[in-house]
Chains A and B, each alone.
Chain A
Amino acid sequence: MIKDITLGQYFPGASPIHKLDPRTKVLLTILYIVSLFVIRGGWGYFVSAAMMFVIIALSRIPFGVVLRGIKPILFVLLFTATFNLIYGTGTPIFEDVSWLGWLTWNGLRNAVFMAVRIILLVIGTSFMTYTTSPIMLTGAMESLLAPLKWVKVPVHELSMMMTIALRFIPTLVDETDKIISAQKARGADFETGNIFRRAKALVPILIPLIISAFRRAEELADAMECRCYHGGNDRTRYKVFHFAARDALAALVMTGQLALIIFLNVVT
């Protein structure tokens, strides 16, 4: 049930993708997203999709998991594709059929490309979280944003907050599951009735959940204070990141991909 959400989930592993420096992965994910928006023609999408397949294969994450990650955005996908299809301009596909006049080659092209772009965007970004543990990810954020400390941005505190937030997602999901079960055991029904009845049925879940989140926050704050935690300067990390040869290789491949896409844009 609620545990089946895959977006933003980490799958432990020891693949070459898992082993990359998390900072590399953050930067290269950004580069990949940029490359997706640079693409102008079909060949560019082909290159991008091929790149994604290589990454999926290297990471050894089951393909089914990747597909499941797309499920939540299916609606957005259909919505965008439909509108691109309707609002296309240019030559109609069926020039003899007057009532299909709105269906143009241009619109079809845009709809397909837009759908592919969104799918690659979602898979690309989820792959960062599939292969990088949340702790590594926030570590990478902190390290990459470190220059902002010069303009008094509390980078460490922000990344600590993010770590804690990410750390508590599974806990709260577990908690939600437990509360749902407990209220079901008392005959609560979340699945029938109109939208208002269903919204009202959520009250017995939300109130205990909020209360428990506050309780946990307080306990954690106490525990941190007991250990004399204070953020900011001079804190060292338990795991120090090091760029390795594989990071350079990954960066080279990803930049090569972007260069190829730009090249394809120019020639076609």
Chain B
Amino acid sequence: MEIIRTENLTHRYGIGTPFEKTALDGVNISVREGEYVGVIGQTGSGKSTLISHLNAILKPTEGKVFVDGADLWSENKARRIETRFKVGLVFQYPEYQLFEETVYKDIAFGPKNMKLDEAEIDRRVRESLRFVGMGEDCLDKSPFDLSGGQKRRIAIAGVMALEPKVLILDEPAAGLDPKGRDEILSRIRDYHKETGSTVLLVSHSMEDIANNADSIIVMEGGRVRMHETVDAVFERADELIAMGLDIPQITKVFIDLREKGYDVRTDIYTIETAKREILSKLTGGASRD
């Protein structure tokens, strides 16, 4: 079933000032329930503007946004706030929004705004803490005493605690070391598998998305350039490169092999398929896992 749809979504910043800029230009996307979608594009391609429309933080200049079949801006304000609990949005560098005295209170901020009872809040705080892989011993600490990566996880837990149908994350791995990045991304993947919720992951790094997503939305200059399965997107690797996007290292290796005259596929983006492809070529077509 379709959970998110936009129709001709357009957004202009600073209308009537010398700084007017079209950030989104007639965007049509559709996301099915339970799907893991990667949103990719260069800085300034409109990724962040797009996702801010999906939970009614930004109002479209033109066009419509539907969540769960309902048009967000034809409804009253109370219903729009409900949407924010249905579509959980984790902004870039979410650790800068922490404000409470303890980690527990900070994660509980969202559920409290939902007016849930104490027992339910407590369950959600502990559950989302588990999802981001933090021990319960940190619950009474001040969030400001934690490390950068830990703060980020607490902030993500704060949104997961809303138990949204759709979880959107804007560059959740930005500025983390490779270990921290893998950790966060695998936590998000586990969350997606376990809860069956829809996940939108925004990134400018293909590597972050390729291993996890079912489909990819590629954005450039405020428009959607591609919206296809991961395999289909990687078959057009040359177009991605032309857009200034970085493709995974392993894909580059196979494109180079092809250029050197080897008859290999180039839509390869995981180490596992790469291994299989090489082995099958070495053994002359007989696949051997």
Contacts and interface: CB of A to CB of B under 8 A. Distances in A.
Interface stretch (B91-99, B121-129, B222-230, B254-262): B91-99
A211 B98 CA distance: 10
A157 interface: no
B57 A184 contact: yes
A207 interface: yes
B104 to A, nearest CB: 15
Contacts of B98: 208
A186 B109 contact: yes
Contacts of A41: none
Given A179-B96, A204-B99, A189 B91 contact: no
Given A187-B110, A187-B162, A204-B109, A11 B99 contact: no
B57 A187 contact: no
A17 to B, nearest CB: 15
Measured as residues with beta carbon below 8 angstroms from the partner, the interface class of chain A is 20 to 34
Contacts of B144: 211
Contacts of B172: none
A185 B144 CA distance: 21
Nearest to A182: B97
What secondary structure prevails in chain A residues at the interface with B?
helix
Among B88, B97, B158, residue most surrounded by chain A Cβ atoms (within 10 Å): B97
Interface string A1-32: 00100000001110000000000000000000
A203 interface: yes
Contacts, number: 63
Interface residues of B, number: 27
Interface in B98-151: 98-99, 109-110, 113-114, 144
A88 B230 CA distance: 77
B52 interface: yes
B91 A184 contact: no
Contacts of A90: none
B159 interface: yes
A89 interface: no
B96 A189 contact: no
A64 B16 contact: yes
Interface of A: 3, 11-13, 62, 64-65, 175, 178-179, 181-189, 203-204, 207-208, 211-212
Closest 5 CB pairs of A and B: A187-B113, A186-B110, A207-B99, A182-B97, A185-B89
Given A12-B18, A208-B97, A212-B96, 13 more contacts: A11-B17, A11-B18, A62-B16, A181-B52, A181-B57, A183-B97, A186-B97, A187-B81, A187-B110, A187-B113, A204-B99, A204-B109, A211-B144
19 contacts: A13-B18, A62-B16, A65-B17, A175-B96, A178-B91, A178-B96, A182-B94, A182-B96, A182-B97, A185-B55, A185-B89, A185-B90, A186-B110, A186-B158, A187-B84, A187-B110, A187-B162, A208-B98, A208-B99
